[in-house]
Amino acid sequence: MSGHVRRSAGPADGSATAASRVGHGGCAVRQDAFWNLGYRFAPEAQGREFATELARAAVEAARERRPELPVVAYLLENNPASAAVARKVGLALRHRGPDAGNPDPSAVRLVFADRALSEAELAATMR
């Protein structure tokens, strides 16, 4: 399950009339253990609440389809805007630690989730 947002990436005053695809995202089941919430938007669309709108709809849809699975967003600590979106849609920080396999040894992974994660669920997000 994924969603796409098609919006004008024009001026913030809404004066642009042609809609263009400026981002995408949604939730997908990973390892049959959790919903992975992800989103990516063009730089000109960032900061306009599109990611929050998409993430909110994706979380609601995931909870309707398989409510037994936690909704998780994992990201790097140097991405505070993505962390802000996760928080806005009701996810809380559940883990902070090294980002295994990242070529940058100083990279820190954050795991946000809509509930406490079991050890197995957390381990699944770290793969």
In this prediction the pTM is 0.84
Pairing of strands 34-41, 71-76: parallel
Could you read off the pLDDT of 10-65 as tens digits, one per residue?
Answer: 555 555 545 677 888 999 999 999 999 999 888 888 888 889 999 999 999 999 99
Compare 85 and 5 and report the one with higher pLDDT. Answer: 85
Specify burial of residue 18 (Cβ count, 10 A radius: 0-12, 13-18, 19+): exposed
109 - beta bridge partners? 76, 97
